[in-house]
Homo-oligomer: A and B are copies of this chain.
């Protein structure tokens, strides 16, 4: 199958305690696609400016990403600039320039409209809804969001959540959206809003999966060096949704494994600046670390 992703494509300037760089490949749809492409075919819808390098488009093509839906508009690509604290769970946004993204309206190419799996990356809920209107019969709608939309457009966001099968968000967002401090209570309330499946990302502390089949938890992979956390959540989602998309049938075991694959790819991504690690990552390296995840969490003999 093919997963349709709609989201931002950016050129980032990032400063972490370990390194820094400018005009780095970024954006939710970019990170997602580079991860999902390890597992399945990806159909990308987004917009870039005239300054966006052709080499990056080639990179996407090489990673099984169909770029028919990639619009190139007159002007500059969306730019984000941020600085991480010594505790890299904290960061400050220094500058955001929407540029060509300001007037972005997602146009789903004819060939994409039959997509069965859709990933609505973190963009304005009204744009997410526009995407859903253009997709014929999605079997699995996966939605991400951020604090900005929770605060500024809660009703539009809730309308999207009602049409969502798998809602992916982080722990802070889950608490913010429900007003509940306890994550398990928040999770129950989020599922009551519509999604049959819920994944709450806890950064370095792992990810929690919740469905009618029960609870599953995957820890963050232990790393001696984190270089750049940017995009980790989108890469996680890319691994997760990529694995789901290429499977015959959605079931609890597949979902659990998909969460672990998501954690695995995300753990590689934070090892280098921007997409530098993911560019050269191999499927074999992913499988190796997936096996290490088993050893890391197993406590039964059988």
Q: Which residues on A are within 8 Å of B, measured CB to CB? A: 86-87, 181-185, 188, 202, 205-206, 208, 214-219, 222-226, 253, 256-257, 259-260, 294-302
* Given A219-B206, A219-B217, A295-B214, residue A182 in contact with residue B301 (CB < 8 A): no
Closest to A261 in B: B299
Cα distance A222–B300 in the bound complex, in angstroms: 20
Show 26 residue pairs from A and B whose CB-CB distance is below 8 angstroms, ordered by the A residue.
Answer: A86-B181, A182-B223, A182-B225, A184-B222, A184-B224, A185-B224, A188-B224, A202-B205, A205-B205, A206-B219, A208-B222, A214-B295, A215-B222, A216-B296, A216-B297, A216-B298, A216-B299, A217-B222, A217-B297, A218-B299, A253-B299, A253-B301, A256-B298, A256-B299, A260-B299, A297-B299
Given contacts A205-B205, A219-B219, 4 further A-B contacts (CB under 8 A): A182-B226, A184-B222, A188-B224, A298-B300
> Distance (Å) between the CB of A157 and the closest chain B CB?
24
CA distance A181 to B89 in the complex (A): 12
B299 touches A257 (CB 8 A): yes
Q: A217 and B302: CB pair below 8 A?
A: no
Establish whether residues A224 and B259, one from each chain, have CB atoms under 8 Å apart when the complex forms.
Answer: no
- Distance A257 CA – B224 CA, assembled complex (angstroms): 25
Contacts of A205 in B (CB 8 A): 202, 205-206
Contacts of A182 in B (CB 8 A): 223-226
Which of chain B's residues have a CB closer than 8 A to the CB of A259?
299
Return the chain B residue nearest A217 by Cβ: B219
Smallest Cβ-Cβ distance to A185: which chain B residue: B224
The 5 A-B pairs of least Cβ separation, nearest first, read A256-B299, A184-B224, A205-B205, A217-B219, A184-B222
Contacts of A206 in B (CB 8 A): 205, 219
Across the interface, do A300 and B294 meet the contact criterion of CB distance under 8 Å? Answer: yes
Complex-state Cα separation, A255 to B69, whole angstroms: 52
Q: CA A296 – CA B302 in complex, angstroms?
A: 16
Nearest chain B CB to A181 CB, angstrom units: 7
In the complex formed, the residue of B with least CB distance to A182 is B224
Q: A206 to B184, alpha carbons, bound, how many Å? A: 15
Q: How far is the CA of A206 from the CA of B204 in the complex (A)?
A: 12
**A253: B residues at CB distance < 8 A:** 299, 301
Q: Which residues of B contact A217 (CB under 8 A)?
A: 219, 222, 296-297
